[in-house]
Amino acid sequence: GPTTTPAPVRALFPALRQNVNGKPLVYLDNAASTQKPRAVIDALVRYYEADNANVHRGAHALSDRATAAYEKARETARRFLNARRTEEIVFVRGATEAINLVAQTFGRQHVGPGDEVLVTEMEHHANLVPWQQLCREQGARLVVAPITDKGELKLDVLESLITPRTKFVAVSHVSNALGTVNPIKRVIEAAHRRGVPVLIDGAQAAPHVPIDVQELGCDFYVFSGHKVYGPMGIGVLYGRLDVLESMPPWQHGGDMVDTVGFDATTFSGPPYRFEAGTPNVSGAVGLAAALEFLEGVGRRAAADHEATLLDLAVRRLSEIPGVRLVGEPGHRAGVVSFAVDDPPMSPLDVSARLDAEGIAVRAGNHCCQPLMGRLGVSGTVRASFAIYNDAADVERLAAAVRSIVGEAEAGRRSTDHNDETA
């Protein structure tokens, strides 16, 4: 059926071929980081074996090859986002660094005393704390758009919170904690009608949802390589060219300057203005290999496959007595979060017992502590999916959760019994 990953795709990921605690690994912590296909690992090895040198120095063959590989990766990232120009693609360490870059350049330029920055209750700390700290520094106010109990944005309320004081809107495309796919096109349009620029945190969208920044019309879009089958330590900041051109540099140093004197310096244009120092060339090469890999699988096919798995997971987990899904968004991608209420078990306890069965999930607040507070939980157990997961993974998860809850229930009953007979 459609929930079976074509075996060849799974076989392309060496890390999936291992036993953990004596059981074949079921890897369902993809929202934290994905495994890497052979093509990405090979691209990294090839780069270091043959082309490694510093870039943009132009003095010898290896440097030229490294430069060409780095710029080719930029073109691959441009295509992935359907950006108009390669100058709009800035390589960064990841989504976190991209958001900090924007907050500390564009943010400092445009947010002043009495102004407001609008985020939402479901933001990852990476798309919350940089704006909160910017507001503190500038005497501005962070405004938080509310969500429903199901974990969806209240779009009408969000729109009403965009006022003449609003200088920036920062919203996630897909929630890493609940899987909610936000109607970002409508958020962007609402903000732009009032002349307010928008950053989209696409860290969880990039692996699951086709992205077209021209169609979206956003000012900034960010994502991390490691969540989309690429290496850690590389990510992309997309900024519309006119916006990037209006921004001051963030970090200063080599490779981002035109002319330097002891008294003054002139800076390169985008993207180099924002890439001070030796860049992560191998990371960019690996990221490009990952994006090409995903294109090869087909982004629509990947999204459909994951949606089918997610539906199955939601169904199976909600069938288990005592298990409660946290967040019930109508449109979700990649993620299902749940709690064991009866008998009550901590998310960490559940994840430890799943780990003992070779099943990797994440437990905790998922870097969304304020969201957890809003939903009245301290944390959740989160299962998150990727192209290489299949229906058997979901069934093993559901069976393991069922048996963990069953054992805890039996433990409680025997304790109750002992209490009665004592």
Least CB distance from residue 363 to ligand PMP, whole Å? 14
Per CB under 6 A, which region of 2-10, 90-98, 129-137, 160-168 contacts ligand PMP? Answer: 90-98
Site for ligand PMP in 385-414 (CB under 6 A): none
Per CB under 6 A, which region of 197-205, 241-249, 250-258, 333-341 contacts ligand PMP? Answer: 197-205
Among 201, 357, 390, 393, binds ligand PMP (CB under 6 A): 201
Rounded Cα gap, residues 67 and 412, in angstroms: 63
Rounded Cα gap, residues 285 and 399, in angstroms: 40
Q: Which of 135, 218, 367, 368 is catalytic?
A: 367
Nearer to ligand PMP, 343 or 370 (CB): 370
380 binds ligand PMP (CB under 6 A): no
Per CB under 6 A, which region of 14-22, 198-206, 298-306, 321-329 contacts ligand PMP? Answer: 198-206
Least CB distance from residue 389 to ligand PMP, whole Å? 18
Nearer to ligand PMP, 67 or 380 (CB): 380
Site for ligand PMP in 352-371 (CB under 6 A): 367
Least CB distance from residue 176 to ligand PMP, whole Å? 3
124 binds ligand PMP (CB under 6 A): yes
Is position 367 annotated as part of the catalytic site?
yes
Least CB distance from residue 384 to ligand PMP, whole Å? 10
With CB under 6 A as the rule, give the number of residues binding ligand PMP.
13
Least CB distance from residue 222 to ligand PMP, whole Å? 8
Nearer to ligand PMP, 126 or 312 (CB): 126
Least CB distance from residue 257 to ligand PMP, whole Å? 27
Nearest 5 degrees, angle CA 283-CA 289-CA 295?
Answer: 135
Among 126, 302, 335, 387, binds ligand PMP (CB under 6 A): 126
Site for ligand PMP in 130-149 (CB under 6 A): none
Least CB distance from residue 232 to ligand PMP, whole Å? 8
Per CB under 6 A, which region of 18-26, 36-44, 91-99, 303-311 contacts ligand PMP? Answer: 91-99
94 binds ligand PMP (CB under 6 A): yes
Query: Long-range contacts of range 8-11, CB-CB < 8 Å, 24 or more positions apart?
Result: 9/297, 9/387, 9/388, 10/388, 10/390
Site for ligand PMP in 215-274 (CB under 6 A): 224
Per CB under 6 A, which region of 76-84, 150-158, 199-207, 247-255 contacts ligand PMP? Answer: 199-207
Rounded Cα gap, residues 322 and 150, in angstroms: 19
Rounded Cα gap, residues 166 and 118, in angstroms: 7
Contact 231, 254 (CB under 8 A): no
x/- contact string, 148-187, with ligand PMP (CB under 6 A)? ------------------------x---x-----------
351 binds ligand PMP (CB under 6 A): no
Nearer to ligand PMP, 96 or 138 (CB): 96
Which positions ≥6 away from 30 have C-beta within 8 Å?
207, 227, 334, 384, 385, 386, 389
- Hey, which residues are catalytic here? 367
List interacting residues with ligand PMP (CB under 6 A): 94-96, 124, 126-127, 172, 176, 201, 203-204, 224, 367
